[in-house]
Structure 1
Amino acid sequence: MENIAQLPIREIVSKDYRAALVFRTFGIDFCCKGDQTIQEACTRKKADPHLLLEKLIEAFTSPSEDHFDYQSWPLSLLANYIENKHHAMIRERIPLIRKFLKRVVKVHGAHEPNLKKIKSLFEDSSEDLQRHLEQEELIIFPFIRKISTDEERKRLLLSPSFQQIRELIYELMADHEQEGACLEEIRQLSNDYTPPAYACNTYKVAFALLEEFDVSMQKHMHLERNILFPEAISLEVAANLN
């Protein structure tokens, strides 16, 4: 990958998702704050950009089971992947995480106020997130599938209905920023999902589930915010130019 130091970090991750773990290790948000360069991100995080670049090069040369060029996928395929993999995972994990957090707060909440805050943040954000998923599955994704295959694509893209779709896309991208901020706060409150030495198995599982959820959400939001949604909007721009 050429001149990655000059690229926005969201573009680096879009070209090769193996970069995501490196940025995550350095505490850098590649999704909602993906417009910054490596130098800008490292300055904010007081991290060594040369070390980060070394780690990126290592990541790009390492094998991975999830090394897909998502940018080359048809939009309909990407929408299906997000719905079948990430939406399904969210719906499966939310009730499970809530159950474990409830148990942990019941036992440890009196002397660990951060746990109550984590539980409250997760419950509030998961309610908003489920509404977000419904809007995507019932409105956004069906439209994206249609413009990916329909011979009347230009008519659809130039219709008033797409203007409404575009507005909803921007609303969903704003939701991503709120969700990203919530996950970051949970990350900080949980000390990067590190349970204390005395933690019971329930406590450990709760934090492990939260971390898994966070990792999946980062990828989910990245695929939508930095690839799927911009590509859908770019089709409208192209239709207007033709």
Structure 2
Amino acid sequence: MKHGKKYVEAAKAIDRAALYDPAEAISLAKKAAIAKFDETIEVHIRTGCDGRHADQQIRGAVVLPHGTGKTVRVLVFARGAKADEAKAAGADFVGAEELLPKIQNEGWFDFDVVVATPDMMGVVGRLGRVLGPKGLMPNPKSGTVTMDVTKAVNDIKAGKVEYRLDKANIIHCAIGKASFTDEQLNDNFQTLMNAINKARPSALKGAYIKSVSVAPTMGPGVKINPAKVSA
């Protein structure tokens, strides 16, 4: 893959063979964000898990202390008092069965996170084939299937991020924007890593966190010493 001049210039400041301390890696990743927009700083964590086994799956969510820098649009599936509660909490869209054709037939996806009360999961389940592949299906482990819709909406708006294994057993997560201070990004990074360390599956034998890198959206990755972030 051929990279542009800006990427090549930014990469010169990074030693590809080195394993950096988290603070230094985050600082380098911030400096490597040279696009014209405010790039997202992302963390990529390669684990020793085998997600094909149910007892080695990792999925959860954590509220980052400084948020993600992104405005998140929340859709809540709820009825009656719970629908009113969701609206009062600041949900962007609230509804029930009437939203199904809009999503299924019209391809409406003007939302980033879906929350549902448990009684609505029968309805939401009908959207599994469209929401599932986009990672939008509500899940109790990530706190998006809940009766406490106020807390769910507030947490998401405050900067809650979900982490889960992809097919290659890697976790990808945003920890903020390049415009954040080093301290804000460090706080968010440590909060995320603490949550992931706590989520270590008891069935896993051997190394849990194999490699960690941090990178801006359009820039090169910086490797972090996994020994400095493992529990």
Query: Under a length normalisation based on structure 2, what TM-score does the superposition of the two structures give?
Result: 0.26
**1 or 2, which has the higher helix percentage?**
1
**1 or 2, which has the higher strand percentage?**
2
Query: Under a length normalisation based on structure 1, what TM-score does the superposition of the two structures give?
Result: 0.25
